[in-house]
Structure 1
Amino acid sequence: MRVAVCVKRDLFGMLAARAFVTALGAPAPELAFFCSTRTRPAETGHRLPLLLKALERDIPIDTLLAATADERAGLPPELRPDAWRPLADLAPGGGAADLLAWRPDMVVSMRFSLIFPRAVIAAVPGGILNVHPGPLPGYRGLFAPFWQVLEGEAELAATLHLVDPGIDTGAVLAEHRIARRPGRSLLWHMGELYRGGAVLAARAVRRAMRGQAPIGATQPPGGRYWCIPGEAAADAFLRGPMPVVTTADYLDLLGEALLPALPEGAIAAAS
């Protein structure tokens, strides 16, 4: 079985990749990692998107990963973001052709910033599974952990669902829920959601390897689509519900994503 894993080359893409590979165990399917290289203009406007860009990409990827490349030289390619195959788009003659040329039986999308077109969905026989860091259908779209916190949810959730031609509208396979933790940061909650979602995806792949096709529950009608927060929402978050990051949380996330060996117990809490 051949599984293409589509991620983003950032802190949470690396964390999700490690959680997924670790939870898969052995024997594992043949894996190929692809990463989106798209960035949105809105990510460089308000101070909150700028802060998240620094924490998720500038520091871990452009600084630490680049400066410590020798430490990762012995890692398997699936755990080395520099070895992931870049996808600038999913156009028929561009990224879609590159992805489908590998002939995946299944695609797993985690922290991926490109929308799968109908032609790609139809070409993957085992389906495309997506880890969405929010409960569906109530938190479709972007920045789902941010909006769950700002809306005062007592629990946050990540959803594993099948990809269909809509945006976060496919059948739900499983959900990973966590209690909102006072004193913890937004980045800590994001790490918990992506790690737990990656474990759900690994379990679904293992079932597929045993011949069990993914069958999900149709989402109920309604729902809401969320966008990148504007200045008012970003300011409200920075004033209020929890810190965006703390030193302790950030060091833990960096260690889990970047150290050559996984910290002991990093995946156990999510499984």
Structure 2
Amino acid sequence: MKIAICTKHDLFGAIVLNHLIPNLSEHELAVFFSHESLSGESSVPELARFNFLERDLPLNTLFPLIEKTSNVGELLTPLQMTQKYHFKTNVLRDLLPTGDGATLYAFDPDVIISVRFRLIFKKPIFSLPKFGIFNLHPGALPAFGGLFAPLRQMLSGAPTLGCTFHRVDSGIDTGPIIDIAWVPLRQNLCLMQHTFELYLAGIPLILELVNNLVINKDPFISPQIADKRCYFSIPEAAEFSEFKQKGMKLIDKHAYRAMLSLFTPPTLKNQLDELVNSAF
């Protein structure tokens, strides 16, 4: 089966690929990155900080440093993964069949899997994959659609946070639900750690879908309840202030280092410490 994986070119996108690619290597794969920031994502200091730690530091500094060595960490950088598993990657700024999206159309996938992808799927792309387009969203739908869903779930005080796997339709995070993976809210974990756990909890839902499609078993899907739907846009400074007032932490230095260390071979431990210390 031909599978197109659409994700963001950042730290969490790399983590997701490391848990998908080895388990889907029997299929023909292609990865399509969106790496541009949304308008307003640096409008408050906390958003700019997330961009730096999730994207700029790993992509521009750590990953190139790792790739200059012959050693590998527990997880591979995207470049190391392409070298090991021999799949093609493309960067998309649009999904137009006459624009960047032409590479996706040329791949002609049987199914499109979206995780953390920045571009919105619109017609005519819905007619491209015969099995459809599916998205892993780090929020419990329909109540936590849109951006920064883990933040909004933590602010709500819910005891568990959801990661929803759903079929993509013409709306944004409105498609019918296949399943929701749940993780407990833990006060000692920062937002970044909860986001990490949410994506890891959702990965098995993707793999189960692919296995079912191989044997021509259609997924069971449930329509979302429209009147319970809520969509969140880019968070404002007041929400980050509320988050801190509730005693929760956005990014923990040691947790962040632990995520980066998954990619870093032991020979670069000192360099990793220097990078993290300089960032905090």
Structure 2 partner of 1:114: 119
1:32 to 30, 40, 43: 30
Tell me the distance in 2 between the aligned counterparts of 1:202 and 1:251. 28
Q: In the alignment, is the contact (CA less than 8 A) between 1:185 and 1:246 conserved in 2? A: yes
Q: Tell me, in whole angstroms, the C-alpha distance in 1 between the residues paired with 2:219 and 2:134.
A: 9
> For 2:209 and 2:166, how far apart are their aligned partners in 1?
10
Name the SS for the 2:226 alignment partner.
Answer: coil
* Distance in 1 of aligned mates of 2:265 and 2:99: 33
Instruction: Give the CA deviation at 1:79.
Output: 7.7
**CA shift in 2, pair 1:146/1:158, >3 Å:** same
SS of alignment partner, residue 121 of structure 1: helix
> With structure 1 as the length reference, what TM-score do the two structures score?
0.88
Which amino acid in structure 2 is aligned with residue 36 of structure 1?
A: S
Equivalent position amino acid for 2:31 in 1:
F
Instruction: Give 3-state SS (helix, strand or coil) of 1:242's partner.
Output: coil
Which consecutive residues of structure 1, in runs of 5 or more, have no partner in the other structure? 262-271
Q: Is the 8 A contact 1:78 1:84 kept in 2?
A: no
After TM superposition, give the deviation of residue 213 of structure 1 in Å.
2.5
Distance in 1 between the 2:238 and 2:8 partners? 27
Give % identity.
Answer: 32
Runs of 4+ in 1 over 6 A off after TM superposition: none
Structure 2 distance, partners of 1:124, 1:259, is 36
Q: Which residue of 2 aligns with 1:15?
A: 15
Give the secondary structure class of the aligned counterpart of 2:183.
Answer: strand
Q: What residue number does 1:46 align with?
A: 44
SS at match of 1:157: strand
1:119-154 deviation per Cα after TM superposition (whole angstroms, max 9, x unaligned): 111211011110000011001111100111111111
Do residues 137 (structure 1) and 142 (structure 2) align?
yes
Query: Which has the higher Rg, Structure 1 or Structure 2?
Result: 2
Give the AA of the match of 2:50: L
Inter-CA distance 172–46: structure 2 relative to 1 (3 Å threshold): same
Contact 2:132–2:167 at 8 Å: present in 1 too? yes
8 Å CA contact 1:132–1:160 kept in 2: the answer is yes
Query: 1:87: which partner in 2?
Result: 92
Q: Deviations over 1:213-234 (max 9, x none)?
A: 3331111122100111112112
Cα deviation digits, residues 194-245 of structure 1 (max 9, x gap)? 1121221122111111221333111112210011111211222233341111
Q: 2:188 and 2:136 mapped to 1: Cα distance? A: 26
TM alignment of 1:109-258, pairs within 5 A: 109-222=114-227, 223-256=229-262, 258=263
Aligned pair count?
Answer: 257
Report the aligned-residue RMSD. Answer: 2.2
